Structure 1
Amino acid sequence: MGFLIHVDDRELVVMLQAGDAEAFTELYNRYKNPLIIHSYKKIGDFEDAKEIVQEVFSTLWSQREQLPSIQQVSGYLYTMVRNKVLNYIEHKQVEARYALNFQRFIDEGHNSSDIQVREKELQQMIDREIAALPPKMREVFILSRKEHLTHKEIAERLNISEFTVKNHIKGALKILRLKIGLCALIALHYFF
């Protein structure tokens, strides 16, 4: 496997497009740390920076067959990271607005009927977003959150692995977090 150390980036991309996992690993090893540092400088959170880079490489692998002709691999990867960072920052701003509005709502001390109306609206929004999840992901998520089944119980009921169950739940939460924001996710724990 060490022979790939001497292969240039563009050749690695060609190998990657053909499904070569070792070429992918070599690209990952070459660029992972500089990309994490670059991402960290932009967002200031090391764990989130690592996750952004992980998502970039996950996308690179899953879309390997559709990759365009890449002349400069480092530039391509840095652009992918920049786009993920911009999405991250935008998402954090949305979360901050939700949190601020939620805090304002609490501080202003609305009467209980107003709170009930808002809770109902929030629950309807959550239900709509859950209904829009991919079918299997939705089924796993509902079994976990509404029927309170363990990962093992869900895996046995649906005849899938616990790992798949965990991935479906993680994916559902990620989608819901993006669609609804932090406050709605907090509400998930109260309503379900």
Structure 2
Amino acid sequence: MDEDKRVKRLISGDKAVINELYADYSSRLYHFAFGYLKSGADSLDIVQEVFVNLWNSRKNLKKNSNLEAYLFTVAKNTIISVFRKRLSEKNYLENLKFEVVDNSIDTESKVNYDLLAEKVQELIEKLPPQRRRIYVMCKEKGYTNQLVASELNISLKTVEDHMTKARKFLKENLSEYGFIALLYVALFLS
């Protein structure tokens, strides 16, 4: 169907055209979003948001609007918003980590924290060499799993498997340290 006719139908409030557009573009939009977000649920949310935005903004469309360009521009902008939100949440958690450490109730808590951090370092040293290298790249250097896979020339699944096993090993070996260890695990190893 001619895109100009679709735009006119959309502007006039024809709900059937949204279903047509969804059938034509939802899969491509999903894969576009997934390429950036690596999350099926987030990608589905992006697709839904794109079509809600299209419907809500339909009266602002020009009669010769390029719907495909519009849909992918909205998707791109929504993905950028998701990244900004993730970065904001990550920064908040980073600040929270430092507040927990800096605002410790007393010297004993700080000493306990230092001992725990030392124990974690000892446990990291006990990881198999490849697992330790992957863990350090992800957790201490801040590399993404994808970047680690690329740098080490291994699959993303292998990186994820090593990270899962490293976290499990650390959690199991820190459980004897009680509440402060649980807090440490929640803040630093998740």
State the TM-score, normalizing by the size of structure 1: 0.52
- 1:43 equivalent in alignment to 2:37: yes
Q: Could you tell me how far apart the structure 1 residues matched to 2:96 and 2:36 are?
A: 27
- CA drift at 1:106: 1.5
CA RMSD of aligned residues (A): 1.6
Q: Which residue of 2 aligns with 1:24?
A: 18
1:25 Cα shift? 0.9
Partner of residue 89, structure 1: 83
**AA aligned opposite 2:22:** Y
Q: Alpha-carbon deviation of 1:110?
A: 2.9
Aligned residues: 106
Aligned to 2:74: 80
Partner of 1:68: 62
1:106 paired with 2:67, answer no
What's the offset of the Cα at 1:109? 4.2
Structure 1 residue 100: Cα displacement: 1.0
Q: Unaligned stretches of 5+ in structure 2?
A: 107-190
Q: Letter of the aligned partner of 1:37 in structure 2?
A: H
Query: What's the offset of the Cα at 1:70?
Result: 4.2
Q: Do the aligned residues in 2 keep the contact of 1:10 with 1:73 (CA within 8 Å)? A: no
Whichever residue aligns with residue 44 of structure 1, its letter is: K
Q: In 2 relative to 1, CA 52–72 (structure 1 residues): closer, same or farther, beyond 3 Å? A: same
> Where do 5+ consecutive residues of structure 1 fail to align?
1-6, 113-192
Q: Is the 8 A contact 2:10 2:17 kept in 1?
A: yes
SS in 1 for 2:34: helix
Q: Does 1:59 align with 2:68?
A: no
> For the Cα contact (< 8 Å) 1:56–1:80, is it kept in 2?
yes
Residue identity over aligned pairs, in percent, reads 26
Note if contact 1:17-1:65 (Cα within 8 Å) is conserved in structure 2: yes
Give, in whole Å, the separation in 1 of the partners of 2:94 and 2:62: 42
User: Residue by residue, what CA displacement relative to the aligned partner does 1:78-132 show, whole Å, maximum 9, x if unpaired?
Assistant: 11101111111111100000011112212334339xxxxxxxxxxxxxxxxxxxx
Cα pair 2:7 2:65 within 8 Å, conserved: no
Distance 1:109 1:81 in 2: 41
Q: Secondary structure at the match of 1:104?
A: helix
Separation in 2 of the partners of 1:70 and 1:98? 44
Q: How many Å separate the matches in 1 of 2:64 and 2:94?
A: 43
Distance 2:14 2:3 in 1: 13
Moved more, 88-97 or 7-16: 7-16
- In the superposition, the TM-score normalised over structure 2's length comes to 0.52
